[in-house]
Amino acid sequence: MHEKMNNNLREDPGTVEWKRKEANGSSTIVPSESGTIMKGAFFKAWSFLKKAWELGVDDPRKVIHCLKVGVALTIVSLFYYMRPLYEGLGGTSMWAIMTVVVIFEYTVGATVCKCLNRATGTLLAGFLAVGVHWIASQSGENFEPVVVGVSVFLLASAATFSRFIPVIKARFDYGAMIFILTFSLVSVSGYRVEKLFYLARQRLSTIIIGISICVVITTLICPIWAGEELHHLITRNMDKLANSLDCCAVQYFDSSGGTNSSEKEFEKKLQGYKCVMNSKATEETMAGFAIWEPAHGRFSFQHPWNQYVKIGASMRDCAYGIEALSSCLISENQGPDLIKKHLSDLCLRVSTTSSSVIRELATNINTMRKSVKLDFLIEEMNISVKELQDKLKSLPGILIPPPGQEVEQCENDNESELILTAIPIPLAEVIPIATFALLLIEIEARVEGIVDAVEELETLAEFKPADDDKTKQNQLRNINLLNRRKDEETMGVIQMV
């Protein structure tokens, strides 16, 4: 038996076998799964480390933030390790470490917001607690716990209710929570602690030390600004919105589905509008933190960050329209190719001009300059929408004509135009294509909403005009092209008459 076990161990040294004795006296060999479990644990650990490495490589600022937190905790720990500093603050130096752990956030705005909330809540609660302690001590030994208990009940209830108020919840929710915590601790501990003023002073000093270290490190060492993050998020979402609009129109009218980019990249661009739809909470949070940030870079202290939230809301309205547009791509009834060909050019032109307007708005926000091409692009978008509306009105009647009638062909101004007259097409087959075209027209109206929101941002933020020579030349060229197009449309109407 020993020889057999040794042979098994020599054959597979990574596997250990155990013998289980049955009721009838026989034994069964039960192989251990420890080797398999260790291999699985090793591969899971390796996979975790690989993902962590990729996360750090993808955004090195997250690694920098971790290092900044480590530096802040190391500095504040010196107040506990070094005897002169420890003797000055005592055991309450641990509050400084707790302060750093709690308030050090990823962005400058989030950190400053928590710092100011914690400082304000602590100061206000400390002063009120000391005042309540003095009143309670003057009321006699019997009434002192009653005064303290009633004050804790009233102020804690009022502060908790204030957290339901939208304005306070958006900006001062953390401060209200710190107020409740500090007031309760100081008031209750003041009933048993004799040196209340000394204890309150020490805790306040350590909290101020922790706040100062956090603010200095997060602001001076590789700062990550919430306002700048919001600024770039809006421009990225605009580009994704424009790409999704283009991809929807291309995929709907391109029967072969062929694109210059790979299928995976095309699908990623097509689904870009979903990022816009899911970014509401992120935009509101970043805008709330950006308000607390000092002036930095191109952004002043009173930069209209709330206007970015309005722009995001108008972009989501447009994204909902693109979502409805994308649902036409998976519809079973796609309509006849004949009508698709009849409307494809104008539909693609509407989507292209609309996406061009969105991209130009993104450029305006990114550069913080007014564009001279925007008016021309908006005019192009409006003209293409009007032409599409006229094209939809020119579709033939849905009534089934007499049998034997076919499509006519004619040559007009060196362009082959398909005249759809009296084509026997059922109404149910025309509706999907008309729906797609009408959704494009609706999206154009929602793009106008984005334009209005961005123009309001330009006014509030005082965007600089693009007044260089190259821009002036582009403006003149765009005006000439627009006038030429209007002349061509006028001549076309005259000829028709």
Spatial neighbors of 225 by CB under 8 A, at least 6 apart, are 107, 108, 109, 290, 293, 296, 297, 299
Return the structure tokens found at 111: 């950190």
In this structure, is residue 188 part of a structural domain?
yes
pLDDT of 14 higher than 60: no
Task: Report CA-CA distances (Å) from 110 to 71, 114, 115, 221, 255.
Answer: 18, 6, 9, 15, 49
Domain holding 134, by residue range, is: 47-220
pLDDT of 4 higher than 50: no
Residues 391-413: tens digit of each pLDDT: 887 765 443 444 444 444 444 44
In this structure, is residue 235 part of a structural domain?
yes
Residues 148-163: tens digit of each pLDDT: 888 889 999 999 999 9
In this structure, is residue 259 part of a structural domain?
no
pLDDT in the model for residue 187: 78
In this structure, is residue 411 part of a structural domain?
no
Residue that finishes a domain, picked among 166, 197, 220? 220
In this structure, the answer to whether residues 363 and 445 fall within a common structural domain is: yes
Residues 241-280: tens digit of each pLDDT: 999 999 988 888 874 444 445 777 888 888 888 999 999 9
In this structure, the answer to whether residues 330 and 443 fall within a common structural domain is: yes
CATH number at residue 338: 1.20.58.220
Cα(114)–Cα(121) distance, integer angstroms = 10
Q: Rounded mean pLDDT of the chain?
A: 78
Please state whether the predicted TM-score (pTM) of the whole model is above 0.85.
no
pLDDT in the model for residue 276: 92
Q: What is the mean pLDDT of residues 55-82?
A: 85
Cα(374)–Cα(424) distance, integer angstroms = 43
In this structure, the answer to whether residues 200 and 287 fall within a common structural domain is: no
In this structure, is residue 403 part of a structural domain?
no
pLDDT in the model for residue 491: 41
In this structure, is residue 31 part of a structural domain?
no
Cα(497)–Cα(485) distance, integer angstroms = 19
pLDDT in the model for residue 370: 87
Confidence of residue 5 (pLDDT cuts 50, 70, 90): very low
In this structure, the answer to whether residues 350 and 432 fall within a common structural domain is: yes
pLDDT in the model for residue 213: 92
In this structure, is residue 380 part of a structural domain?
yes
In this structure, the answer to whether residues 202 and 108 fall within a common structural domain is: yes
pLDDT in the model for residue 27: 57
pLDDT in the model for residue 144: 79
Q: What percent of the chain lies above the pLDDT cut of 90?
A: 33
Cα(229)–Cα(236) distance, integer angstroms = 10
pLDDT of 485 higher than 90: no
